[in-house]
Structure 1
Amino acid sequence: MNHARWKLAREKALAEGYVEPPEVAAERAEIRLAMAFAKAVYDRRTELGLSQAEVAERSGLTQAKVSRIEGAGSVPTLPLLRRLALAMNASLNIALDADREEVTFIAHPAA
């Protein structure tokens, strides 16, 4: 089943009164957060015209770690978030809600 069909089936089940178990909801929220962060890192990196290797060098990470982050394969720690934000000359904003995760890098003004 593709993602669109799965999402429609899930929405239909929820509309019919299906209650998702808390552990499933928590796992879904963690996945959404990893995906939102992955997209924000990728978008900022490409906006700057940097390769994964260049971001890795700037942040003191390996290229493989940057790749895992962009592939939503890991949720970084707070110190790592700071290192990535500094490496990409931006502030990192994260908004978390019950059903929404928003992650954005805000570019620092040119000096």
Structure 2
Amino acid sequence: MAGYHTRWVRPETQIHDPERAAIREALAFGKALYDRRTALGLSVAELAERADMTEDEIECIEEGGTAPTVALLRHLAAALDADVRITSGDDLDSLWFEAHAA
């Protein structure tokens, strides 16, 4: 059978598909960046300037089009005055930027 119904159990191979995991990680990265940027009240242009990046690069990340790398996470965390937090798993809440402790 080609498709899967939501009530059916999916095969184990589809659940742990590395491509799907990479997509979810990129989406989690984008969501985390967007959430922290908006919490600070920054526009895309303001964050791009702080991070020495282009607006297109910031927008691409926020849209889930960029895989998170350690170097990029550190760079953006510095621009956002935050620490990076990562949990196991690859759901949308598995990565976030947390404000530095006061």
Q: Same-fold call, TM > 0.5?
A: yes
CA contact (8 A) 2:48 2:55 kept: yes
Higher relative contact order (CA 8 A, sep 6+): 2
| Structure 2 unaligned regions, length at least 5 | none
Match of 1:29 among 2, 17, 21: 21
Structure with more of its chain in helix, by fraction? 1
Structure with the greater alpha carbon radius of gyration: 1
Poorly superposed stretches of 4+, deviation over 4 Å: none
Identity %: 45
One of 61, 69, 75 as aligned partner of 1:83: 75
User: What TM-score do you get using the length of structure 2 for normalisation?
Assistant: 0.82
Aligned partner of 1:49: which letter?
A: G
TM-score (norm 1): 0.76
Aligned-residue offset at 1:21: 3.5
1:55 matched to 2:47? The reply is: yes
SS of 2:53's equivalent in the other structure is coil
**Rounded Cα–Cα distance in structure 1 between residues aligned with 2:34 and 2:12:** 31
Q: Matches of 2:101 and 2:88 in 1, distance apart?
A: 26
For 1:9 and 1:87, how far apart are their aligned partners in 2? 43
Deviations 1:15-53 (A, max 9, x none): xxx42546x711111111111111110000000000111
Is structure 2 residue 100 aligned with structure 1 residue 104? Answer: no
Cα RMSD of the aligned pairs, angstroms, is: 2.5
Q: Number of residues paired by the alignment? A: 99
Separation in 2, partners of 1:104, 1:31: 16
Distance 1:79 1:103 in 2: 15
Matched residues in 2 for 1:63 and 1:56: separation? Answer: 5
For 1:35-74, what aligned pairs fall within 5 Å after superposition? 35-74=27-66
